[in-house]
Amino acid sequence: MHNTIQREDYLHRSVKTYGQAYSSKGLFNPREEFLIETAEFIKVFRHLHGFAVTRRTLQHYSSPQIGLLPPPIHMGGHKSYYLNPEHTDRLAVVMHLATKLFLPLKTIRAVVRVYPAQHYDLILRGILTADDLSGSVEHFKRGFAVEDVLFYKVCHVLEALDRPYWDHLARHGKDASDHAEKHVDQELIRLARMLERWIKSDQRLRMEGLKK
């Protein structure tokens, strides 16, 4: 969702309250599209994500100077309406980056401006760290996809398994760059094949079982 919302694009959505957003069984559909007035939005958000926010916080975040949230929609009168899932997901990411990853405001603003909304779950599930996100802002600006960032992260993890590579760098430093990069490409392919074999074995499933 961009920082500019065209009011006309969302007027077809129904307006719901906190109570109406949940089914008779108390279930909430996070992907359901609807509008929700500010006070009800605050209750839904707290229920979903455990963060208590205020009207003033929402106004501050959606101000042009801060730019963390797109502004709400106004449909006459003084009431503001927020969008589910767009505002709900975006605010969850902002709060996660601020309170769990402790990123500064400038970095949070840079991340939410370029990070694709369809992959917010990778942030909220802790797959991407503060360093991953801070370092990837320029990647997203240059057109790299989330998959590129994740595969790059996996490559670094695999490199850590390759002791000869790191020994080579330790001995030769920057002079080893050309040889080391050729070496690491070959080793990454080898380790990726090892990873494929490991995934096909029952080791991953056995480890998953320990979480339950």
Do residues 119 and 183 both lie within one domain? no
Q: What is the pLDDT of residues 53-95, one digit of tens each?
A: 999 999 999 999 999 999 999 877 788 999 999 999 999 999 9
**Residue partners of 98: CB distance under 8 A and separation at least 6:** 105, 108
Instruction: Round to the nearest angstrom and report the end-to-end CA distance of the chain.
Output: 36
Q: What is the CATH number of the domain that holds 18?
A: 1.10.1660
Q: What is the pLDDT of residues 151-202, one digit of tens each?
A: 989 888 877 776 666 666 666 665 666 666 677 778 788 888 888 888 888 8
For residue 2, the model assigns a pLDDT of 46
Q: Name the packing angle between helices 130-141 and 146-160 (round to 10°).
A: 130
Boundaries of domain holding 189: 161-211
Is 143 contained in some domain?
no
**Residue partners of 46: CB distance under 8 A and separation at least 6:** 52, 53
Q: What percent of the chain has pLDDT over 70?
A: 86
Confidence of residue 24 (pLDDT cuts 50, 70, 90): confident
Is 134 contained in some domain?
no
Is 14 contained in some domain?
yes
Confidence of residue 23 (pLDDT cuts 50, 70, 90): confident
Burial of 211 (0-12, 13-18, 19+ CB in 10 A): exposed
State pTM to two decimals.
0.82
Do residues 24 and 102 both lie within one domain? yes
For residue 208, the model assigns a pLDDT of 79
Is 121 contained in some domain?
yes
Do residues 176 and 115 both lie within one domain? no
For residue 177, the model assigns a pLDDT of 65
Do residues 121 and 206 both lie within one domain? no
How many structural domains are present in the chain? 2
Q: What percent of the chain has pLDDT over 90?
A: 61
Confidence of residue 17 (pLDDT cuts 50, 70, 90): very high
